[in-house]
Structure 1
């Protein structure tokens, strides 16, 4: 990875979008819109990760509910089928491994699959939690705490969790 100063001085759209396209899972449209907004920001704006994070957050928050739903649906289940068959992005794989989700017992994995399915059936998108620094037990507690929510509350919570994940990923650049 280039250093922070080089990252945010990229003048080429392809390089800029390529670098930032994974910040929001399988949603390069956020980085593409950020590139298109470059001229709206003062020189030096992209030297500050916090400003980039806020600009990307604003793009998502100002998008349609349909776009937000597609963004949520782009995320994998935690300890789900994509992980089992090796289809996670590198970022998701690292985040889930950090929470120990790559070391679930068969019983734990079956439980995660069951609660993932229940959650997805209720809300129409996967359970999303910024798991960096979390344990399996905390993730399971998150399922228990959030599954009783109504759709509006949980949709907002899931979007907020996506923003947290994006913040972690930007910081890792």
Structure 2
């Protein structure tokens, strides 16, 4: 784990190297947040990083959402996502379950234009499946907000694993 004081003392390159994978395939978030050092707390750092996303125009926000992998994918994904999906048992789906997730993921993508984003830590495949089915009933506006809420949870977990305090 890294001390927050060490994070605050990092130059921009070190900061991006340490935190650039917190937001899926988007090291630019850490790059932009670096300018707001020093951070008084891990939650302050998290809020600064989230603000980079919240300030995006809608088209760029949806493009950012599309940087996230499908859940229960068999494609190569980032280290954090791999561990999180394994922890939820999504790497152990039966062929039938995998096919159901793949079809639901396609339906979700067709409806909203970005993948289903869900903080899977602490959940199992049944809970994730239920959330996916429920969220397919959302409007685009509701789901855009929910995707941001889920990203906030995911990145909070990741920062807590990385930075003390």
Specify the TM-score bucket, using the shorter chain as the normaliser: over 0.9
Q: Deviations over 1:135-156 (max 9, x none)?
A: 1000010011110111111111
What is the RMSD of the two structures over their aligned residues, measured on CA atoms? 1.4
Task: In structure 2, list runs of 5 or more residues that go unmatched.
Answer: none
Structure 2 distance, partners of 1:53, 1:63, is 16
Within-5 A mapping of 1:81-120: 84-85=74-75, 87-120=76-109
**Cα–Cα, structure 1 residues 143 and 5, in superposed 2: closer, same or farther, change >3 Å?**
closer
Structure 2 residue corresponding to 1:49, chosen from 13, 34, 42: 42
Contact 2:72 2:91 in 1 (8 A): yes
Alignment-derived partner of residue 63 in structure 1: 56
* Superposed displacement of residue 47, structure 1: 4.9
Contact 1:4 1:47 in 2 (8 A): no
**Runs in 1 of length 4+ with deviation above 2 angstroms?**
none
* Superposed displacement of residue 160, structure 1: 1.2
Q: Which of 1 and 2 has higher RCO (CA within 8 Å, sep 6+)?
A: 2
Structure 2 distance, partners of 1:153, 1:6, is 37
Alignment-derived partner of residue 15 in structure 1: 14
TM-score when normalising by structure 2: 0.92
Within-5 A mapping of 1:20-169: 20-38=19-37, 45-80=38-73, 84-85=74-75, 87-169=76-158
Structure 1 distance, partners of 2:66, 2:6, is 28
Structure 2 distance, partners of 1:20, 1:113, is 30
